Amino acid sequence: MSLFSKILKKNEPALAEQFQFTLVGIDMHSHLLPGIDDGAVDIENSIELITHLHEMGYQKLITTPHIFWDMYPNTSQIIREKEALVKQELKQRGLEIAFQAAAEYYIDEHFESLIEQEDLLTFGDRHILFELSFDEEQVNHRRAVFNLQVAGYKPILAHPERYEYWHNNFSKYEDVVDRGVSLQINTNCLTGHYGPGVRSIAERLIEADLVDFIGTDCHHLGHIGLLNQMRQSPILKKLIESGRLLNHTL
Please report whether residue 217 would count as binding Fe ion according to CB under 5 A: yes
Q: Whose Cβ is closer to Fe ion: residue 21's or residue 72's?
A: 72
- Whether the CB-CB separation of 53 and 59 falls below 8 Å is answered with no
Starting from the edge strand earliest in sequence, which strands make up the sheet with 60-63, in order? 26-27, 60-63, 98-101
Q: Whose Cβ is closer to Fe ion: residue 48's or residue 217's?
A: 217
Please report how close the Cβ of residue 131 comes to Fe ion at its closest, in angstroms.
Answer: 7
Q: Whose Cβ is closer to Fe ion: residue 212's or residue 217's?
A: 217
Please report how close the Cβ of residue 83 comes to Fe ion at its closest, in angstroms.
Answer: 16
User: Nearest CA to 170 among 160, 156, 157, 158?
Assistant: 160
- Whether the CB-CB separation of 161 and 200 falls below 8 Å is answered with no
Only one of the segments 5-13, 78-86, 99-107, 193-201 lies at the binding site for Fe ion (rule: CB under 5 A); that segment is: 99-107
Q: Mark 58-97 with x for binding to Fe ion (rule: CB under 5 A) and - for no binding.
A: ----------------------------------------
Q: Whose Cβ is closer to Fe ion: residue 114's or residue 185's?
A: 185
Please report how close the Cβ of residue 249 comes to Fe ion at its closest, in angstroms.
Answer: 20
Q: Is 196 exposed, middle or buried (0-12, 13-18, 19+ CB in 10 A)?
A: exposed
Only one of the segments 46-54, 104-112, 114-122, 167-175 lies at the binding site for Fe ion (rule: CB under 5 A); that segment is: 104-112
Separate counts of helices (H) and strands (E) for the chain? 9, 9
179: Cβ contacts below 8 Å, ≥ 6 apart: 142, 145, 146
- Beta partners for 186? 215
- Sign of the dihedral through C-alpha 123, 33, 145, 170: positive
Backbone phi, psi, residue 35, to 5°: 70, 20
- Whether the CB-CB separation of 7 and 164 falls below 8 Å is answered with no
- Beta partners for 10? none
* Site residue total, Fe ion (CB under 5 A): 2
Only one of the segments 80-88, 100-108, 164-172, 227-235 lies at the binding site for Fe ion (rule: CB under 5 A); that segment is: 100-108
CA 20/CA 237 separation, integer angstroms = 10
Please report how close the Cβ of residue 194 comes to Fe ion at its closest, in angstroms.
Answer: 12
Q: Whose Cβ is closer to Fe ion: residue 12's or residue 68's?
A: 68
* Binding to Fe ion in span 157-216, by CB under 5 A: none
Please report how close the Cβ of residue 217 comes to Fe ion at its closest, in angstroms.
Answer: 4
User: Nearest CA to 160 among 190, 192, 202, 125?
Assistant: 202
Q: Whose Cβ is closer to Fe ion: residue 48's or residue 104's?
A: 104
Q: Whose Cβ is closer to Fe ion: residue 5's or residue 225's?
A: 225
Please report how close the Cβ of residue 208 comes to Fe ion at its closest, in angstroms.
Answer: 23
What is the contact surface with Fe ion in residues (CB under 5 A)? 104, 217
